[in-house]
């Protein structure tokens, strides 16, 4: 089979790596890919948002299966357009992708169908936003409505942070809708499933670190590291299925929304095991994909092929996982998530040796004449699997220290929960 993976981040490198292990696959293309992906797949210089370019390439190259990684092409209708052109594709249509592409729509959907989530108000200007803050009190969560690459959520502990968020939001999206949401306390977890809209196959749990600085401080990012499994109480997996996943699938069916692909539920486990949905994403998480797929022993194509070609999951299929713990530490370019320099040489990267439980997934790199250079804010996802969290952390950080360059930055506390 010839497979095309759409995207250029660490999630897509991990997907290409996992897909390449399947005996079903003879050729992998990445559109556009990155420096690390180019080592195991053919990178095609077509952007992930170039819908017409992707369609033309997939038809001309007779691609047997497309796996869409990022959220933006999903929101723009890439999945349904590929399927209309007869190209088997894993990814929800733009209607279903509204679970992620519109915070307002997703909140209304959850409330309508009894899916547990935080209380909220939708506002359209600064004055109504400030009134909502007064109503909920501090701390408060403020979310931009659309896609913001993980940077459109502001957790404000005081009025100074509220004012900073307001300045950021209305500087970017003047007049746009904004969600003001009550602040929830508890333990976060990421829960993902493959689904055809009727049945589903769960993945193992994970937890990411969204804040840029140690101690969960500073602005939100796309994710600075992750661990799998998430540190949850025994029995919580079944509670999540009962209170979130099954009601979600029932709601999609009732709304006649034919979902195809991966659903990511960002959850808060509040005191008393009260589960609330913080957000839904219409695709694999990043960097959660790195810690999940490195624990997956089954052939991922066993799921992707039937899901893409006939939009139906294999019945009674159970993924085989290893019993280890995985840890991913993201190395970023200093300045991220704000302004940062591109084109910085990563001198040690090409000489790093890894064992079978160590992985270096590229997120924002480019390769020139055998050397790797930065090409994004989040540059690498250094991942390791161990028998314990402590072992996985030690292995991951040992690799990070060998790779880090003068203008790199990474958190030192990935996997250490407060």
Residue 33 DSSP code: -
- At 273 the pLDDT is 86
Decide the pairing of beta strands 2-7 and 27-32: parallel
Residue 259 DSSP code: -
| CATH for the stretch 187-309 | 3.30.470.20
Q: Give CA–CA dist 118/300, Å, rounded.
A: 34
Backbone angles phi, psi at 177, to 5 degrees: -75, 145
Average pLDDT over every residue of 43-70: 98
Residue ranges of alpha helices (H) inside 275-340 are 288-293, 301-309
- At 125 the pLDDT is 87
Read off the tokens for 146. 């659309």
- At 169 the pLDDT is 83
- At 212 the pLDDT is 96
Q: Are 333 and 379 in contact (CB under 8 A)?
A: yes
pLDDT at 384 over 70: yes
> Which of residues 298 and 144 earns the better pLDDT score?
298
Q: Output the average pLDDT for the chain.
A: 94
Q: How confident is the model at residue 175 (pLDDT cuts 50, 70, 90)?
A: low
Q: Tell the CATH topology of 325-409.
A: 3.90.600
- At 418 the pLDDT is 55
- At 152 the pLDDT is 82
Q: How confident is the model at residue 15 (pLDDT cuts 50, 70, 90)?
A: very high
pLDDT at 171 over 80: no
Sign of CA dihedral 78, 94, 206, 331: positive
What share of the chain has pLDDT > 90, as a percent?
A: 88
> Which of residues 227 and 218 earns the better pLDDT score?
227
Pick from 3, 122, 129, 130: nearest CA to 62: 3
Average pLDDT over every residue of 195-224: 94
DSSP letters spanning 144-161: ESS--TT-SEEEESSHHH
| CATH for the stretch 2-91 | 3.40.50.20
| CATH for the stretch 120-182 | 3.30.1490.20
pLDDT digit string (tens) for 310-325?
A: 878 998 899 999 999 9
> Which DSSP helix (H) or strand (E) runs through 136?
helix 126-136
Q: How confident is the model at residue 153 (pLDDT cuts 50, 70, 90)?
A: confident
**Can you give the residue ranges of every domain in the chain?**
2-91, 120-182, 187-309, 325-409
Q: Give CA–CA dist 371/35, Å, rounded.
A: 9
pLDDT at 258 over 60: yes
What share of the chain has pLDDT > 70, as a percent?
A: 98
Half-sphere exposure of 121 (CA within 13 A, CB side): 18
């Amino acid at each position: 089979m010839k497979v095309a993976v759409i995207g250029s981040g660490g999630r897509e490198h991990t997907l290409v790596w996992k897909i390449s292990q399947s005996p079903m696959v003879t050729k992998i293309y990445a559109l556009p890919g990155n420096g690390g992906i180019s080592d195991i797949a053919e990178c095609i210089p077509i952007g992930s948002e170039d819908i017409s370019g992707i369609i033309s390439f997939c038809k001309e190259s007779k691609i047997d299966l497309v796996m869409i990684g990022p959220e933006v092409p999903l929101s723009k209708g890439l999945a349904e357009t590929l399927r209309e052109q007869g190209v088997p594709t894993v990814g929800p249509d733009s209607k279903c992708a509204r679970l992620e592409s519109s915070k307002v729509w997703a909140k209304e959907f959850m409330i309508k169908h009894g899916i547990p989530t935080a209380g909220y108000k939708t506002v359209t200007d600064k004055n109504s936003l400030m009134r909502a803050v007064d109503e909920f009190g501090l701390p408060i969560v403020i979310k931009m409505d659309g896609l913001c690459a993980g940077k459109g959520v502001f957790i404000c502990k005081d009025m100074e942070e509220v004012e900073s968020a307001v300045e950021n939001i209305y500087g970017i999206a003047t007049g746009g809708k904004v969600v003001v949401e009550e602040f929830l306390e508890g333990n976060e977890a990421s829960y993902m499933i493959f689904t055809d809209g009727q049945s589903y196959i769960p993945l193992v749990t994970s937890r990411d670190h969204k804040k840029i600085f140690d101690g969960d401080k500073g602005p939100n990012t796309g994710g600075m590291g992750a661990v799998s499994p998430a540190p949850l109480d025994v029995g919580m997996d079944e509670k999540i299925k009962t209170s979130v996943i099954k009601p979600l699938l029932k709601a999609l069916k009732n709304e006649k929304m034919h979902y195809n692909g991966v659903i990511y539920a960002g959850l808060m486990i509040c005191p008393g095991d009260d589960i609330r949905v913080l957000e839904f994403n219409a695709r694999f998480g990043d960097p959660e994909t790195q810690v999940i797929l490195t624990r997956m022993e089954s052939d991922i194509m066993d799921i992707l092929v039937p899901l893409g070609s006939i939009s139906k999951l294999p019945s009674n299929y159970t993924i085989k996982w290893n019993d280890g713990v995985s840890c991913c530490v993201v190395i970023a370019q200093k300045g991220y998530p704000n302004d940062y320099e591109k084109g910085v040489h990563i001198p040690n990267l090409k000489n790093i040796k890894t064992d079978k439980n160590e992985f270096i997934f590229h997120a924002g790199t480019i390769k020139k004449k055998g050397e790797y250079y930065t090409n994004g804010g989040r540059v690498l996802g250094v991942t390791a699997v161990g028998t314990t969290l402590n072992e996985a952390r030690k292995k991951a950080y040992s690799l990070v220290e060998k790779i880090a360059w003068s203008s790199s930055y990474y958190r030192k506390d990935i996997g250490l929960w407060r």
